[in-house]
Amino acid sequence: MSKTIKIPGFILFGIFFLAACSSGPLREFRTGDEIVTYDFSEPQTFEEGAYESGNVRLWIADDLYRIRLDRGQGEIWWGQWGDTLDDVVLDVEAVASTQRPNHAYGVGCRMSGTVGQEIEDDPELQGLREDSAADTASTADNGEDVEDVGAEDDISVEGEGLVPLNEGQSIEVPDISGDDDDSPLDAPSSNSDDEEETGLRITDVYAGNGNGYLFLVQGNGSFSIQRSEGRVLTPLVDWRQSDKINRGTVPNELRAVCVGDYLAFYINGEFVGDAIDDTFTEGQVGLMGATVSTTQVEIAFDNLVVSEASPA
C-alpha cells in the first residue's frame, strides 16, 4: 500500500525554494501561432457535467469555466476538450473563491481522451445499418409481418440523457493537514522498495482517461508538475513554495509548456520549474481543481489560449 508522511511545510518549502531560485530554465522554446482560444462565452465549448450527487460541478457561466467542489478529500477533478495536440504552450488565468489554502488548481497538457471531438462513423457499421434497413423494407414489401413499435410502448435506454461517467475524472492528491489557514499540503514520502510511485491515485475507472501532465498551484503558495499515468501521479517537480504565486482570491496567470520531452511551468510571467519526461507525446488540454475541506470552493478559469510551440 502506498504511504504518505507529514513534513513541516516551512522546512520542506524552504529547502525547495532555495533550490528553485538557484537555476533558470533547462531549455528555451518558441511560441508559435495560436491554435485555439477558449473564451468560455458559449456553453458546451469545454467539458461540462455534475458528479458525486451534485457535489462536483464543471460548467461554463459568465464567460468563465468553473469547477465547484462542495467538499473534497484531495481529489482533483478536471475537464478536458479539443483536438489531440503534441507541442503546445497553454496560457490561462485562474482564481479561487476562498482565502483558505486548502485547495489546488491548474492546467494539463497531453491528456488522454477525445472529449468534444467529432467521431467519424465506422463505414462497416454504416454498411450494416444500410443492409438492415434494406432487409426490413424488403420484408415489408413481401407482405410479411413487421413488428410495429408504437408510441404507447414503453421503451427506455438505460443512462440515456445522463452525462457519461468517463467525462468526469478525479485524482487523489495529498491531504492538507487540519483546517488551519496556514496548514500546508502534505508531502508524499518515498515509498517502499516495491512501490515506485508517489501513491497518489486516479479514481477514474475508464481506461485511457487520466493520463497526461498536470501543472498545479496550491492555495498555500506552492506549485508542482505531475505526470498522471496508469491511475498514479508521479511528481516531476515536487511541491515547492514560490513567491511568484498570488494567494487567496487574487488571480494567477498560468503558462504550461509542453515541447517534445520538455515541460516548463511559468506563473504570472515568471519561470518557476521544469522537467524532462517523454512518457506522453500528444493529447487534449485540461483544467482542474481540488480541495480538502467541507467548505465549498470554486475555481474559475478565463481565456485558455493554446499555441503552437517548438524548441528554440
Give 77-130 pLDDT, tens digit per residue.
999 999 999 999 999 999 999 888 889 999 999 999 889 888 766 677 666 667
Type of residue at 192:
S
Type of residue at 215:
F
How many of the other CB atoms lie within 10 Å of CB of 167?
A: 18
- DSSP code of 190? P
For Cα atoms 86, 199, 226, give the angle at the middle one, nearest 5 degrees: 30
Between 199 and 294, where is the model more confident?
294
Between 242 and 100, where is the model more confident?
242
Report the C-alpha gap between 93 and 106 in whole angstroms: 10
**Which strand (E) or helix (H) includes residue 74?**
strand 72-85
For Cα atoms 178, 294, 11, give the angle at the middle one, nearest 5 degrees: 25
CATH code for residues 9-116+163-311: 2.60.120.560
- Residue 129 CA: distances (Å) to CA of 6, 57, 135, 161, 207: 59, 37, 10, 23, 28
Q: How far apart are the first and last CA of the chain?
A: 43
How many of the other CB atoms lie within 10 Å of CB of 276?
A: 11
**Which strand (E) or helix (H) includes residue 17?**
helix 9-21
Report the C-alpha gap between 12 and 187 in whole angstroms: 8
Name the β-bridge partners of 232.
201, 229
What proportions of the chain, in percent to the nearest 5, are helix, strand and coil?
10, 45, 45
Mean pLDDT rounded to a whole number for the chain: 75
Is the pLDDT assigned to residue 49 strictly greater than 60? Answer: yes
- Ordered by start, the domain boundaries in the chain are 9-116+163-311
Report the C-alpha gap between 252 and 218 in whole angstroms: 11
Q: Is this model's pTM higher than 0.85 or not?
A: no
Is the pLDDT assigned to residue 205 strictly greater than 50? Answer: no
Is the pLDDT assigned to residue 39 strictly greater than 80? Answer: yes
What burial class does residue 309 get, using C-beta atoms within 10 Å of its C-beta: 0-12 exposed, 13-18 middle, 19+ buried? buried
**Which residue's C-alpha cell is 516548463?**
264
Percent of the chain clearing pLDDT 70 (strictly above): 64
How many of the other CB atoms lie within 10 Å of CB of 247?
A: 14
